[in-house]
Amino acid sequence: MKNTLSLPMLLAVVVVLVVMPAALAADKTSASDQKASPTISISEEMGDAMVQKAMSVKDQLEQRTKSLFQRSPLGWNWETIGYLYQWLLKLPLRVPDLLRHVVEQSRLLGVVGSFIILLFLAAIIYSLTGQKRVLRLIESHLTPFQDKIPAAVFPFVISASRVMIAALFPLLLLGTFALINAMIQYRATWFTFIGRLLVLWAVAALSIGFLREWLTRDLFTVTQEHGKTIFRLARLVLLYMIGGIALVWGADAFQIRPDVLALLHFVISISIVLVLFLLHLKKKALMSLLPELPYRSYQGFVRLLERYYFPFIFFSLGIALLWCLGYRQLGRVVLVKIWTSGVAYLAIMVAYHLLGAQLSKWAAQTDPADEAAQSLFQSFKSVLLYTMVVSTVLILLNLLGLLWILEQLMSFPLVQLGQTKVTLWIIIKAVLILLAFVYASRLLQAYLDYKIYPKVGVEPGLGYALNTFFKYFIFAIGFLISLKVVGLDLRFLYVFAGAIGIGIGLGLQGMAANMISGFALIFGGKIRKGDWIEVSGTIGTVTDIYLRATNVRTRDNIEYLIPNSDFVSGTVVNYSLSSPMIRIDLPVGVSYGADPSEVEKILLTVAEQEPLVSKQTPPAVRFVEYGDNSINFELLIWIDVSKTARRLVRSALYFAIFEELRKADIEIPFPQRDIHIRSTVARHDVLTPVQEKNHTEEEASN
């Protein structure tokens, strides 16, 4: 059955969809009526809005570009250097005052406070000397658990314990300091400064411990060659940076002149930039840390970085120096955004690769013939890929400062839906949200098929019906949420509902009938996915039930899309509705000279030895009739039609029956006809006309 839509009907539907919004708008004259009946129209201001958005983006870009080259004052001058020089010359004379200040602060702290500080310092000294002893003690306690922890995970457990032990004493001291600070009312400058130094110490211990384990313990293949070299340089840079921060904090805590503090900031910033530059000159060592991933985009990124590594490093050095010289906006926009974007891209790709590897490892452990497991694997893979692509694009555009530009350029109105102006940006957001619901729906269906339905005991047909319901329900929810999130007025759906109703009345009856029949098939349970059916002379298995048609695949791998209305209005043979076992009859004829009992025995033996014949119901033989040329029998057998083709079973049985009958010297007869030919003697004498006529009539009568 074919559903066709004639040209007049199609034109009528188009006229309704185009004219009806205008007619609705013309009938509503008041503002309140217009709100109650939203209209759909193409925005007349599209061209002007596009030009205005482009000009607005251009003005904002010009303003931001100008702000990049605005220099902030450094806060120090040559007088600051002279003052600092004089202060250093007079520093030995200030030692007695410094000692007197310490004594005064100790009196304010008291005996108990002084004792606590002494214990505090003793703990610091012990942490520097007893760390290795504690580390050996912890490792000895972890060794008995090695058999209970996977071999691939145990080295990481040991490394994590080493990192925590390296930072254990700083963290304990920091906790002790916080406890002391909460118990006593003592807020001396040097006491507060010690607390800040403890924070730096804990951060340094964690960072150096992590770098040591990551780069020098051969936990990863990429770090085996150059890991130790990078660790030494990275540790030097980290200690230098932490020392510089501690120096700045100390100067700030003891209220040094602002210009001196600004000079200190400048010197430390320049020195850190130079130290980082020296570290990044180790191209081969640093590039070896990049993992090898089988993705074209990532490989292109690595090749680009290898080719332009040194120009990029020298460019970063120049921008960093400009940042230190007061062009902070330029450094923040150019340097920070580029480096954070690169690091974010690497982190996303590595995370995607690790998750994908774990997913592939799980899929390799499952049976390839398990369709539910393979479907779950593909669903997880699709969700992971979609998440990676969307997050990469959004994060990189946001870090590079391009997201707001695209948002502004795509914010011109395309369509007017009621009181809401739909822009290209709104459409993109709605599509992304809707796609997220679609992928989530597929993942949910695959998980239910693989994990939930087998445990609960849901049969495949019912599971397919439930999955179809979840698919359309989640899609509808996602569609409504996507419209609501982007701020659209859902009342405009009334217009589409009316247009669809008129369209169905004009020429879409067939499509509507197929859709309604599709719901009846899905939730009726009479035809399910995987059933073997026969409809309109087509025999095959149901692979999918869509809203408009049902996909049926024959044993010849030919797929038919049969309209759903044919299943409702016509006669359908479902071989799998209650049981896939069916009986087939094989006619067999033998000569009259054969013994019927022996023929029966041969037929039953052949049927019992054939593996394609079901063993649940025994075969049977019927003596049908005495034919013209043979005595006829029927061999009755049972087969599983969902697994075995009838033609295949017939062929195998006929081959075996022929061979067994030949061995038993039983003839398989064929129809015979006897033909008799009569001939007359030729006469050479001449006959009269009357004699010739009589002779002709005699031959005709014979």
User: What's 628's domain CATH number?
Assistant: 3.30.70.100
144, 196: one domain:
yes
How far is Cα 527 from Cα 519, in angstroms, rounded to an integer? 11
| One domain for residues 180 and 91 | yes
pLDDT at 285 over 80: yes
3-state helix, strand, coil in the chain (%, to 5): 70, 10, 25
pLDDT at position 122 is 64
- Using the structure block, give the residue that is written with the tokens 């951060």: 203
CA dihedral 547, 551, 552, 558 (to 10 degrees): 160
Which pTM value belongs to this model?
0.61
Residue 231 within a domain: yes
Q: Which DSSP symbol is given to 72?
A: P
Cα–Cα distance for residue pair 458/448, rounded to 1 Å: 10
pLDDT, average across residues 53-60:
71
Look up residue 496 and give its two tokens: 């589409």
**pLDDT: is 460 or 206 the higher one?**
206
- CA dist 51 and 408 (Å) reads 11
Bridge partners, 648 (sequence order): none
Into how many domains does the chain fold? 3
Q: Domain check: are 573 and 586 in the same one?
A: no
Instruction: Please tell me the predicted confidence (pLDDT) of residue 672.
Output: 62
448 lies in some domain = no
* β-bridge partners, 74: none
Q: Residue 560 maps to which CATH number? A: 2.30.30.60
The winner for highest mean pLDDT among 63-72, 84-93, 335-344, 564-573 is 335-344
pLDDT digits (tens, 9 = 90+) for 411-420: 777 776 666 6
Q: Output the pLDDT for position 420.
A: 67
Alpha carbons 663 and 657: distance in angstroms, whole number = 10
The values of phi and psi at residue 327, to 5°, are -90, 65
Backbone φ and ψ for 478, nearest 5 degrees, come out as -65, -35
- The answer to whether residues 216 and 159 touch, using CB atoms and an 8 Å cutoff, is no
CA–chain centroid gap for 520, Å, is 32
Q: Is the pLDDT of residue 1 over 60?
A: no
Q: What is the DSSP string of 235-259?
A: HHHHHHHHHHHHHHHHHHHTT--HH
660 CB burial (10 A radius; 0-12, 13-18, 19+): middle
Clarify whether residues 631 and 537 are in a common domain: no
Q: Within this chain, do residues 658 and 525 fall inside the same structural domain, yes or no?
A: no
On the question of pLDDT at 25 being above 70, the answer is no
Q: Which of the residue ranges 161-175, 318-332, 524-538 has the most confident prediction, judged by mean pLDDT?
A: 318-332
Would you say residue 333 has pLDDT above 70?
yes
Least Cα distance to 117 among 186, 202, 164, 205 occurs for 186
pLDDT confidence of 365, banded at 50, 70, 90? confident
**Domain final residue pick, 289, 311, 333:** 289
* 278 in any annotated domain: yes
- Residues 450-470: what's their mean pLDDT? 75
Whether residue 479 lies inside any domain: the answer is no
- The mean pLDDT value for 62-77 works out to 76
pLDDT over 50 (residue 251): yes
Helix (H) or strand (E) holding 585: strand 581-590
Of 340, 334, 307, nearest to 321 (Cα)?
334
**What is the mean pLDDT of the segment spanning 535-543?**
79
Same domain, 524 and 659: no
CA dist., res. 619 & res. 636, Å (int): 6
Residue 8 pLDDT level (bands cut at 50, 70, 90)? very low
If pLDDT is split at 50, 70 and 90, which confidence band does 391 have? Answer: confident
Per the prediction, the chain carries an average pLDDT of 75
Distance CA 192, CA 108 (A): 14
Find the DSSP H helices in 28-45. Answer: 31-36
Is residue 689 situated within a structural domain? no
> Whole-angstrom Cα distance, residue 262 to residue 273?
17
> Edge-to-edge strands of the sheet including 549-553?
559-563, 549-553, 538-545, 532-535, 572-574
Confidence of residue 34 (pLDDT cuts 50, 70, 90): very low
Judged against a pLDDT cut of 70, whether residue 81 lies above it is answered with yes
pLDDT (average), residues 365-375: 83
Q: Kindly state the greatest CA–CA separation across the chain.
A: 174
For 689-701, write each residue's pLDDT tens digit.
555 555 555 554 5
Q: Are residues 111 and 210 in the same domain?
A: yes
pLDDT at 7: 33
Is 622 a domain residue?
A: yes
The stretch 578-607 carries a mean pLDDT of 86
List pLDDT tens digits, range 181-240. 777 666 667 677 777 888 888 888 888 888 888 888 777 776 777 788 888 888 888 888
CB-facing half-sphere around the CA of 677: CA atoms within 13 A: 1
DSSP 8-class letter at 664? T
Confidence of residue 28 (pLDDT cuts 50, 70, 90): very low
- Residue 70 CA to residue 329 CA, distance in Å, equals 8
For residue 537 the two structure tokens come to 């002379």
Give me the mean pLDDT over the 554-576 stretch: 77
User: Could you tell me if residue 487 is left (phi over 0), alpha (psi between -120 and 50 degrees) or otherwise beta?
Assistant: left
pLDDT above 80 (res 656): yes
669: burial class by Cβ within 10 Å (0-12, 13-18, 19+)?
A: middle
Q: Residue 595: inside a domain, yes or no? A: yes
pLDDT band per the 50, 70, 90 thresholds, residue 3: very low
Q: pLDDT tens digit string along 616-632?
A: 888 899 988 888 888 89
Structure-model confidence comparison of residues 265 and 685, the more confident one: 265
| 562 and 601 inside one domain | no
User: Which pLDDT score, from 0 to 100, does residue 73 have?
Assistant: 82
562 and 631, same domain (yes or no): no
List, edge to edge, every strand of the sheet that includes 413-417: 40-42, 413-417, 420-423
Integer Rg of the chain from CA: 45
Domain that includes residue 542, residue range: 520-578
CB 666 within 8 A of CB 599: yes
Cα(110)–Cα(575) distance, rounded to whole angstroms?
A: 95
**pLDDT tens digits, residue range 165-186?**
777 777 877 887 787 777 766 6
Determine the pLDDT at residue 684.
Answer: 47
When pLDDT is cut at 50, 70 and 90, the band that residue 26 belongs to is very low
Q: Quick one: tokens of 51? A: 């030009």
Same domain, 596 and 555: no
> So what's the pLDDT on residue 23?
35
Do 620 and 532 have their domain in common? no
Bridge partners of residue 590, in order along the sequence:
631
Residue carrying structure tokens 């393979």: 374
Residue 15 has pLDDT above 50, yes or no: no
Reference 471, options 536, 411, 522, 420; nearest CA is 522
Instruction: Identify which of 5, 19, 24 has the alpha carbon closest to the alpha carbon of residue 504.
Output: 5
Number of H helices, E strands in the chain: 26, 11
Mean pLDDT value of segment 355-373: 85
Last residue of a domain, one of 289, 321, 351: 289
Q: Do residues 467 and 530 make contact, with C-beta atoms less than 8 angstroms apart?
A: no
Q: Do residues 587 and 621 make contact, with C-beta atoms less than 8 angstroms apart?
A: no
Q: Which two tokens stand for residue 403?
A: 């997201």
625, β-bridge pairs: 632
526 and 659 assigned to the same domain = no
Residue 115: the pLDDT is: 58
Cα distances from 133 to residues 206, 493, 676, in angstroms, run 18, 73, 120
pLDDT at 691: 53
Instruction: Give pLDDT, residue 126.
Output: 59
Q: Which residue in 371, 376, 699 sits closest to 543, CA to CA?
A: 371
Domain boundary among 243, 259, 289: 289
Q: What's the sign of the alpha-carbon dihedral 214, 215, 221, 222?
A: positive
Summarize the confidence of residues 662-684 as an average pLDDT: 68
Q: At what angle do helices 309-324 and 258-280 cross, to 10 degrees?
A: 180
Can you tell me the mean pLDDT for 325-339? 81
CB 414 within 8 A of CB 43: yes
Identify the residue with better confidence: 692 or 27.
Answer: 692
Bridge partners of residue 583, in order along the sequence: 638
Contact call for residues 636 and 621 (beta carbons, < 8 A): yes
